[in-house]
Chain A
Amino acid sequence: KNQVEQSPQSLIILEGKNCTLQCNYTVSPFSNLRWYKQDTGRGPVSLTIMTFSENTKSNGRYTATLDADTKQSSLHITASQLSDSASYICVVSLLDSNYQLIWGAGTKLIIKP
């Protein structure tokens, strides 16, 4: 069954600290992996998209990694800010589907001052 699992479920860190969120997937055939940020009550906003051949991709203070062999990805947030408080969702797309995305449950990140 195609699944995306994320850990931890929630995380609280102090402003200015770094953190790393994890994503494991059992999606096949794999097309690409995306990380989205979703503020409470808002639509998801894309942070990165990574294809099979990409190991690392950065977007400002966000750095995503992908290990296609172990089917794992991580999202590292550097020097966290209060505005980083949100849910971070790992999403994988299927190679044989041009449209459908398999969504993780997200990690709820809270940044405290």
Chain B
Amino acid sequence: EPEVTQTPSHQVTQMGQEVILRCVPISNHLYFYWYRQILGQKVEFLVSFYNNEISEKSEIFDDQFSVERPDGSNFTLKIRSTKLEDSAMYFCASSEGKSATYEQYFGPGTRLTVT
């Protein structure tokens, strides 16, 4: 069964460094998402992406974040200058369509630790 994959599974970085989190969505999906989950807290929406541009973004997704689909398979989240509070699990998801009944399929997540 097709699945969303994410790399790396765990990333440790120093405060102020740039990190790139990578995702390979399900191949026939057109809509892509990033979420984060701080330990013990709710999943939070960051951004959605369609047709090579951002469709929606939350207040969390400020200027230090960017997303890109550099080729036909990868979808990346870049954090330019990491802060301690960026430590969280980051989940990528994808869906076939944007309609209310389309499933979003989630990857296993990347645990980001900022020290």
Chain A: residues with CB nearer than 8 A to chain B? 31-32, 41-46, 49, 51, 89, 91, 93, 95, 97-101, 103-106
Contact = CB atoms under 8 A, between A and B. Distances in A.
Contacts, number: 58
B56 A105 contact: no
A46 B45 CA distance: 16
Given A98-B55, A99-B33, A103-B43, A49 B101 contact: yes
Contacts of A106: 42
A46 B111 CA distance: 21
* Interface footprint category on B: 20 to 34
B99 interface: yes
Given A43-B106, A46-B105, A51-B101, 6 more contacts: A41-B89, A44-B91, A49-B101, A51-B100, A99-B33, A104-B42
Contact of A32 (B89, B91, B93, B100): B100
